[in-house]
């Protein structure tokens, strides 16, 4: 019989379902809300960006902790870690989807040490995050500032 492939199919379906739910919950770009719609040069589509690359990305595809919702322009831009280092991506996750913000899990999925990116590194983006468009769904959510990272 085909038990293995059936099992794999179920896992993939569960991941696909979670991704669909995430996409439905967030119908705006985490980085610019709806501003991208005013630029006709940007395709009228939202993507899910994973905060991981290479082999880690396969795991990240199934883990909401790793997901950002992004317009095509920001999705492309986030592929450039010089512009969007993972600490900045995590700060955006913390702002837009705080219930699934998990810095240590993202570090682990990326094959790094638990504190390879620290809470302090994420918090350095708080001022910028306070300035980006609020978005409809999470208009009232504020970043918490520094939480646990006072380790210097
Ligand atoms: Zn955008």
- Closest by Cα among 80, 90, 81 to 119: 90
Cα-to-centroid distance, 6 and ligand 1 (Å): 37
Cα-to-centroid distance, 126 and ligand 1 (Å): 18
Predicted pLDDT of residue 144: 34
Cα-to-centroid distance, 118 and ligand 1 (Å): 25
Q: Domain coordinates of the chain in residue numbers?
A: 19-131
pTM over 0.95: no
Predicted pLDDT of residue 67: 98
Predicted pLDDT of residue 135: 63
One-character DSSP codes across 4-43: HHHHHHHHHHHHHHHHHHHHHH--SBTTTBTGGGG-TTS-
Cα-to-centroid distance, 106 and ligand 1 (Å): 22
Mean pLDDT of 42-47: 92
Percent with pLDDT over 90 in the chain: 65
Instruction: Give ∠ CA 57-19-88 in degrees, rounded to 5.
Output: 55
For tokens 């809300």, the residue is: 33
- Closest by Cα among 35, 115, 14, 29 to 67: 29
């Amino acid at each position: 019989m085909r038990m293995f492939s059936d099992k794999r199919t179920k896992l993939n379906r569960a991941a696909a379902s979670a991704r669909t739910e995430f996409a439905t919950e967030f119908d705006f770009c985490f980085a610019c809300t709806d501003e991208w719609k005013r630029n006709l040069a940007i395709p009228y589509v939202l993507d899910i960006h994973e905060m991981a690359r290479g082999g880690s990305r396969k795991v990240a595809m199934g883990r909401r902790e790793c997901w950002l919702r992004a317009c095509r322009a920001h999705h492309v831009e986030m592929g450039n870690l010089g512009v969007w280092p993972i600490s900045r991506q995590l700060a955006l996750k913390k702002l837009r989807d705080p219930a699934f913000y998990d810095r240590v899990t993202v570090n682990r999925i990326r094959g790094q040490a638990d504190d390879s990116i620290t809470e302090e590194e994420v918090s350095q983006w708080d001022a910028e995050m306070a300035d980006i468009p609020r978005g409809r769904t999470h208009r009232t959510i504020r970043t918490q500032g520094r939480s646990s990272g006072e380790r210097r």
